[in-house]
Amino acid sequence: MNLEGRVQVLARLTTGAPINLIPLLNKEKINLSTVEAITPAQVLVITAFDFESLLTKYPDFSRALLHSFADRLQKMTQLAAGLSLFSVKARLAQFLIDLGDDPGGPYGWTQDEIAAQIGTVRDVVGRILRKFEDQGLIKRDRHQILLLDRKGLNEITQ
């Protein structure tokens, strides 16, 4: 979050995902990110001493952690590329396509959350959604967005 309160979502984590590991692994012991649960969550807290012990005594733990970091690094690279190389319109179209492919359960998205996910502000999301609707690409029905023209949305992402 910047000083004006704008938020950029870096990741949405699921059950079993490690969080807040950066301070345990970097020299400065500083974490500049914030974690927020959007659903009820149970969190396992491991002390720095126990974490270090797990790393040294259990190679499978270390390997699993490395795989998790590699996955996150790949997603962060895709996020950086998306923010720097594609328009907000293209990012929103891709977000809608991705959401249609994997809705991720019963959780609904607000325009503020969509904006934070794709690196813009709520007003811009609302404006582009209206344009998509006027173009017949989507239909908004209460708290749902229905994809009507996936091919058209795909063309926008190019």
What is the dihedral sign for C-alpha 98, 87, 9, 7? negative
Whole-structure pTM value: 0.68
Q: How many CA atoms lie within 13 A of 106 on its CB side?
A: 1
Q: What is the pLDDT of residue 151?
A: 95
From 1.20.1270.360, 3.40.50.1390, 3.40.50.2300, 1.10.10.10, which CATH number describes the 86-157 domain? 1.10.10.10
Query: For residue range 59-114, what is the model confidence (pLDDT) as tens digits?
Result: 999 999 999 999 989 988 988 888 888 999 999 999 999 888 875 554 678 898 89
Q: Is the pLDDT of residue 54 over 90?
A: yes
**Whole-number pLDDT of residue 144:** 81
Residues of the chain with CATH 1.10.10.10: 86-157
Please check whether residue 82 is in contact with residue 94, taking contact to mean a CB–CB distance below 8 angstroms.
yes
pLDDT band at 134 (very low <50, low <70, confident <90, very high): very high
Confidence (pLDDT) at 99: 86
Residue 143, Cα to own-chain centre: how many angstroms?
A: 20
- Highest mean pLDDT among 15-29, 36-50, 52-66 belongs to 52-66
Q: 3-state class of 11 per DSSP?
A: coil
Report phi then psi at 39, rounded to 5.
-135, 165
Give the helix/strand (H/E) hosting 141. Answer: strand 138-141
Residue 13 makes CB contacts below 8 A (sequence gap 6+) with: 19
- Between helix 122-134 and helix 88-101 the angle, nearest 10°, is 70
Collapsed DSSP state (helix, strand, coil) of residue 147 = strand
DSSP state of 106: S
